[in-house]
Chains A and B, each alone.
Chain A
Amino acid sequence: MSQAVTAEHAVAAEGGGGVLGRISDFFFAHPKLLTLVLLLPPLLWIGVVYIGSLFALLLQSFYSLDDYSGLIVHEFTLTTYAQLLEQANLQVILRTVAMAAMVTVACAIIAYPIAYYAARYARGWTKALFYLAVMMPLWSSYLVKIYAWKLILAKEGILMWFAKSLHLSWLIDGLLALPIIGGPSLSFSYIGTFLVFVYVWIPYMILPIQAALERVPVNYLEASADLGAEPRQTFWTVVFPLALPGIIAGSIFTFSLTLGDYIVPTIVGNSRLMIGQAVYTLQGTAGNIPLAAAFTVVPMAIMGVYLWMAKRMGAFDVL
């Protein structure tokens, strides 16, 4: 050790690197220390601020609210979780999970061809255009986009006007007449909420799929064709399994973002609550922090189970 230090001083003296040079030399001789110095701030951030607050949240969910005084009882109990299973709360959860699942499936179906085109065919300026088209919606305010959609989907909005001029009003009216997903207008129905969710989250699905597909070399497709597989067979046996980690990554985004969002369903949709809105109401006006915390744990638990299942199915084997 002492020899190493001497050698390092000798080199520093020869090079005459000054203070910065000496710092470089020091870290060069102690690479582990450098790793530690680089990792410490993010570790503190994630460990204390992020995980810490999640832990505090988890703790809150094991307390309960005293119905008479409206005060939080700081005693360990599972009654708050039991409340989640009450009819009304369970419906909120099921409604949100169903919406998130449908949004995710729709995003995957729409995103896949776009990602495939970008990964396989787009070159030069078409590739630049692709990135621009996918990323640009992310640059403008989320609220502005959602209000814009509210106008588009409104009863007197451009979509209805367009449908009318194509003599397709019957189609939209028919959709709106359906039970559950229908409503007085697109902007006051689950259909509307669904459309806006798909719109706002789709970039988060396209980009991971595109990244996964870019890592599939063309000669895998050629090898598959060479061994007798038609394009359809190549898709299901080679391309899809290799794109799966990307699809899973994208679905983690779309699924969890939909599970937790409260702005979209508040602005576009009927008045039935989603998990995000329930949390917002419970921790705000109702002051029921324990139940709000318990609601928040639901998406985390669902995502945990989802990832575990994906892993069991071998979705990450190629990584």
Chain B
Amino acid sequence: MPPAVRFVNCCRHFGSVRAVDGVTLDIAEGEFFAMLGPSGSGKTTCLRLIAGFEQPDKGHIEIFGETAEGVPPYKRNVNTVFQDYALFPHMTVGENVAYGLRIKGVAREDRATKARAALAMVKLAGYEDRRPAQLSGGQRQRVALARALVNGPKVLLLDEPLGALDLKLREQMQEELKALQKDLGITFVFVTHDQGEALSMANRVAVFNEGKIVQVGVPDDVYERPRSRFVADFVGSSNMLPPDFASGHGCAAKWTSLRPEKIKVVATGTTVPTGYCYADGEIKMVSYQGAVTRFNVQTGDRRITAEAPAGDAGFKEDDNVRLIWPKTAMVTMEDGA
């Protein structure tokens, strides 16, 4: 079975800007796939290449085995949920949702029924006659989703769809999107710059930087085993340990990543269990973050950040402490740059 979407060495340059620079990627059918990266990393351009709004300068794109380059957006069986929803202001919610069906020539009765069903699916039953301007951001988001899904796309593209929503609503929509994808079983390709969102929602994540994919994998793999400093830093936060520090603690002499939550803060002099490493230092800053407390500890000439569950360890600034962590928590990276 061919992959839902296949990129083969795709490039898309805008003048001297290499928005997408040699991307090769397979997205399997039924996957919830996240494209994660900072702004300008090429993730949105990749999404637009799948939608057909952009054409690759070089390389090859397949959607379910069919060549996609040169095919206009209106001939592709994919639909997009736009970042700012792009609902048509001169149509009612019902007309917006039924738009794709109307273009396909579906009879009026039939498309009204389907639009109603699609709106019910996104929990907006009875909103058919409103105008987009009368809806809240979260409701518009749902209408955009219904408008795309009513066409029965083989791939649904979502361009930072939750970016404009406030935190509570975003968390709620994340769950709903996940449930929806599970029910429908269609391939979702999701662009986001929010690593938490990518990790929590996707089956697989591609991390983008400067037009290239720097790592692809399942969320815990990307988080636990970052291959480069960029990934370690962008996906969650991490302590970057230089080669000499790593080799001093029994690892390869390469840049090494150590997640703050793997480090325990204990009193100086505490015995170090076997299989653990340690470093002594002085707390320079304590930042309380609700669920966790972050400690910024000066050890020798470097600072190490440790995270402890809130209420744990009653240390204050200027306390001398010992940091201990399992040796296995140190992840040697291939690319130390």
Of chain B, the residue at the smallest CB distance from A318 is B90
Q: Are B80 and A223 in contact (CB under 8 A)?
A: yes
Interface size on B, residues (CB 8 A): 24
Q: In the docked arrangement, what's the CA distance between A224 and B51, Å?
A: 12
Residues of the A chain whose Cβ atoms lie less than 8 Å from the Cβ of B82: 219, 222-223
Q: Are A228 and B89 in contact (CB under 8 A)?
A: no
Residues of the B chain whose Cβ atoms lie less than 8 Å from the Cβ of A230: 74
- If the complex has contacts A227-B147, A227-B151, A228-B103, are A220 and B88 also in contact, measured as CB distance less than 8 A? yes
Q: In the docked arrangement, what's the CA distance between A120 and B103, Å?
A: 24
Does B72 sit within 8 A of A, measured CB to CB?
yes
- If the complex has contacts A226-B51, A226-B73, A228-B151, are A219 and B90 also in contact, measured as CB distance less than 8 A? no
Residues of the A chain whose Cβ atoms lie less than 8 Å from the Cβ of B168: none
Q: Are A220 and B86 in contact (CB under 8 A)?
A: yes
Does B288 sit within 8 A of A, measured CB to CB?
no
Min CB distance A219 to B, Å, is 4
Q: In the docked arrangement, what's the CA distance between A229 and B147, Å?
A: 14
Interface size on A, residues (CB 8 A): 19
Q: In the docked arrangement, what's the CA distance between A219 and B103, Å?
A: 18
Residues of the B chain whose Cβ atoms lie less than 8 Å from the Cβ of A225: 52-53, 72-74
Contact of A229 among B80, B87, B103 (CB under 8 A): B103
Q: Are A317 and B84 in contact (CB under 8 A)?
A: no
Contact of A226 among B79, B88, B89, B104 (CB under 8 A): B79
Which residues of chain A (177-191) have a CB below 8 Å from chain B?
none
Q: In the docked arrangement, what's the CA distance between A317 and B88, Å?
A: 12
Q: In the docked arrangement, what's the CA distance between A238 and B88, Å?
A: 7
Does B208 sit within 8 A of A, measured CB to CB?
no
**B-contact bits for A306-319, CB 8 A (1 contact / 0 none):** 00000000000110
Residues of the B chain whose Cβ atoms lie less than 8 Å from the Cβ of A228: 74, 100, 103-104, 151
Q: In the docked arrangement, what's the CA distance between A224 and B52, Å?
A: 12
Residues of the B chain whose Cβ atoms lie less than 8 Å from the Cβ of A271: none
Q: In the docked arrangement, what's the CA distance between A225 and B78, Å?
A: 11
Residues of the B chain whose Cβ atoms lie less than 8 Å from the Cβ of A233: 103
Q: In the docked arrangement, what's the CA distance between A229 and B102, Å?
A: 9
Q: Are B89 and A318 in contact (CB under 8 A)?
A: yes
Residues of the A chain whose Cβ atoms lie less than 8 Å from the Cβ of B104: 228
Which residues of chain B (100-136) have a CB below 8 Å from chain A?
100, 102-104
Q: Are A223 and B88 in contact (CB under 8 A)?
A: yes
Q: In the docked arrangement, what's the CA distance between A228 and B84, Å?
A: 19
Does A217 sit within 8 A of B, measured CB to CB?
yes
Residue from B89, B102, B148, B151 having most chain A Cβ neighbours under 10 A: B89
Which residues of chain B (70-102) have a CB below 8 Å from chain A?
72-74, 78-80, 82, 84, 86-90, 99-100, 102
Q: Are B90 and A222 in contact (CB under 8 A)?
A: no
Which residues of chain A (222-255) have a CB below 8 Å from chain B?
222-230, 233, 237-238, 241-242
23 examples of A-B residue contacts, CB within 8 angstroms: A220-B88, A222-B86, A223-B80, A223-B82, A223-B87, A224-B88, A225-B72, A225-B73, A226-B73, A226-B74, A226-B79, A227-B74, A227-B100, A227-B151, A228-B74, A229-B99, A229-B103, A230-B74, A233-B103, A241-B90, A242-B90, A317-B90, A318-B89
Where the two chains meet, the residues of A that have a C-beta atom closer than 8 Å to any C-beta of B are: 217, 219-220, 222-230, 233, 237-238, 241-242, 317-318
Given A227-B79, A227-B147, A238-B88, 20 more pairs with CB closer than 8 A:
A220-B88, A222-B82, A222-B86, A223-B82, A223-B87, A224-B88, A224-B99, A225-B73, A226-B53, A226-B73, A226-B74, A227-B99, A227-B103, A227-B148, A228-B74, A228-B103, A229-B99, A237-B103, A242-B89, A318-B90
8 tightest A-B contacts by CB?
A: A227-B100, A223-B86, A225-B73, A219-B86, A228-B103, A229-B103, A226-B80, A225-B74
